[in-house]
Homo-oligomer: A and B are copies of this chain.
Amino acid sequence: MAPTPVAELGARAKAAARVLAGASSAAKDDALRAGADLLVERAGEILAANEADVARSTADGAEATVVDRLRLTPARVEAMAGGLRLVAALPDPVGEIADGWVRPNGLRIRRVRVPLGVVAIVYENRPNVTSDAAGLCLKSGNAALLRGSSAAIGSNLAIAAVLREGFAKSGLPEDVVVAVDDPSREATVELLRLRGAVDCLVPRGGPSLVQAVLDNATVPYVIDGDGNCHVYVDAAADLDMAVAILVNAKTQRPSVCNAAESLLVHEAVADVFLPRAVAALDGVELVGDDRSRAIAAGWIGPATDDDFGREFLSLKMSVAVVPSLDAAVDHIARYGTGHTEAIVTGDLDAATRFTSEVDAAVVMVNASTRFTDGEEFGYGAEIGISTQKLHARGPMGLHQLTTLKYVVEGTGQIRT
């Protein structure tokens, strides 16, 4: 069957979005629960499609970790359904009044939270994103236009087909979820340029996807970018706490964007702290500057300038000794990606200066960088973590999938 033109999918999603924008919370929550039930009921169909994707990837020689991310199991399908039920239980952001005021001429102004319209998600591997993204979009009143990886296309289309049918059970249009069935690069570029149909694009993938968006997109987008996160151990740090935070930030889940990639240590505590850090980070490859190597030469290899700018996403970490908090802030300004930066300190002035002067989505004081996460922040779920400053910054929950509309009520006012 020939793939559906992306422009047609966009038009269908746009038409569905107009209907969905007026749907009640009850209708949306019913749809989410019906979708969850149907995912479980029709798991066999989804798993069969997934098996074919897995077989194709394996035959193509994909790495084992890639195949593992692609693979669905009955438990993973249950988890997708559970995710939809959790989203159904969250408060609906649509219709909230953000603020309002009255002008001297009597005009009453209020800002009302409304859906964006059509949200496009371009993502890599992990077919569960199809369900997670569709659920968050639906709850926030947005039609979802989904474009997963070509390796997972069978799984993604199977999940989308089940969700379309499930969501429609509460009377919503099937096109509130639309999956791109054309795996070509051209189709993705067309999606990136579907201005007028796509109200917001969230690319979820690596640097090459982000670059493709920067180079091609004419639709509005929010970048879910790299996290070159630092832990700065200040002169006034509680060193036990610093070790615990450092180990957690680096090793609890090294492959994710809120894992720490770089350790900065104030020179006043470097002699005592670095040997302890090295011991605690057993199994982590450390590369550092000359000063850190002078203290722990046998355990820290030489770092290149490039190492300080890298998001390793693995058990590797860069290390530098800094003469001051100012130097730490400068280092972060130079190498950071604006994701999450942490200070460990007992000094109020240091904490205040660090949180003021470091320019990042999230600045942590005495806590692990791993907490930058929609669920950990209390948003219930997240569609991504924005590293840009416009619209959404940091974890994006349901509110970040909405916009504000001004409603202005008068009694015949005209401008003079």
A residues sitting closer than 8 Å to B (CB atoms) are: 18, 21-22, 101, 103, 107, 109, 112, 114, 116-117, 195, 199-200, 214-215, 218, 220, 222, 238, 241, 244-245, 247-249, 252, 333, 351, 355-357, 359-368, 370-372, 376-378, 388-391, 393-394, 403-415
CA distance A85 to B312 in the complex (A): 49
Which chain B residue has the least Cβ–Cβ distance from A249? B414
Known: A388-B220, A415-B252. A359 touches B117 (CB 8 A): yes
Structural contact, B362 and A200, CB atoms closer than 8 A: no
Prevailing SS type, chain A contact patch? mixed
Instruction: Write the nearest CB–CB distance from A259 to chain B, whole angstroms.
Output: 10
B residues in contact with A390, CB < 8 Å: 116, 200, 220, 222, 390-391, 403
Closest 3 CB pairs of A and B: A367-B410, A248-B414, A390-B391
In the complex this chain forms, how many copies of it are found?
Answer: 2
Looking at the assembled complex, report how far the CB atom of A39 sits from the nearest CB atom of chain B, in whole angstroms.
28
Interface centre among A103, A215, A245, A368 (most CB of B within 10 A): A368
Supply 16 further A-B pairs (C-beta < 8 A) apart from A200-B389, A367-B408, A377-B406.
A18-B333, A22-B357, A103-B376, A107-B367, A109-B378, A114-B359, A199-B389, A222-B390, A241-B412, A247-B414, A362-B405, A363-B405, A366-B409, A367-B412, A389-B403, A391-B391
With both chains docked as a complex, state the minimum distance between the C-beta of A281 and any C-beta of chain B, in angstroms. Answer: 14
Q: In chain B, what residue has the closest Cβ to A218? A: B214
Known interface pairs A376-B415, A389-B117, A403-B393; A362-B408 also in contact (CB < 8 Å): yes
**What is the chain B residue whose CB lies nearest that of A356?**
B22
A330's nearest neighbour on chain B, judged by CB, is: B18
A13 CA to B174 CA, complexed, in Å = 49
Q: Which residue of B lies closest to A400 (CB)?
A: B390
Question: Would you give 10 A-B contacts (Cβ < 8 Å), ordered by A?
Answer: A22-B357, A103-B376, A222-B390, A245-B412, A361-B405, A364-B408, A366-B409, A366-B412, A367-B414, A376-B415
| Alpha-carbon separation in the docked complex, A404 to B390 (Å) | 9
Q: Are A378 and B101 in contact (CB under 8 A)?
A: yes
**Residue of B355, B368, B389 touching A116 (CB-CB under 8 A):** B389
Query: Do residues B248 and A415 form an inter-chain contact, with CB atoms below 8 A?
Result: yes
Closest residue of chain B to A217 (Cβ to Cβ) is B214
Give the CA-CA distance A116 to B368 in the complex, in Å.
Answer: 25
Residues of B within 8 A of A109 (CB): 377-378
User: A343 CB to closest chain B CB, in angstroms?
Assistant: 10
- B371 near A413 with CB under 8 A, answer yes
- Residues from chain B with a CB closer than 8 A to the CB of A112 are 355
Q: For the complex, what is the distance from the CA of A351 to the CA of B117, rounded to whole Å? A: 21
Residues of B within 8 A of A389 (CB): 116-117, 199-200, 220, 403
Closest to A355 in B: B407
Q: In the complex the two chains form, what is the Cα distance from A215 to B193 in whole Å?
A: 10
Residues on B with C-beta less than 8 A from A195 are 214
Among A214, A245, A412, which residue has the most Cβ atoms of chain B within 10 A? A412
Which chain B residues lie closer than 8 Å to A414 at the CB level? Answer: 244-245, 247-249, 252, 367-368, 370
Q: Separation in Å of the A379 CB from the closest CB of chain B? A: 11
Closest to A215 in B: B218
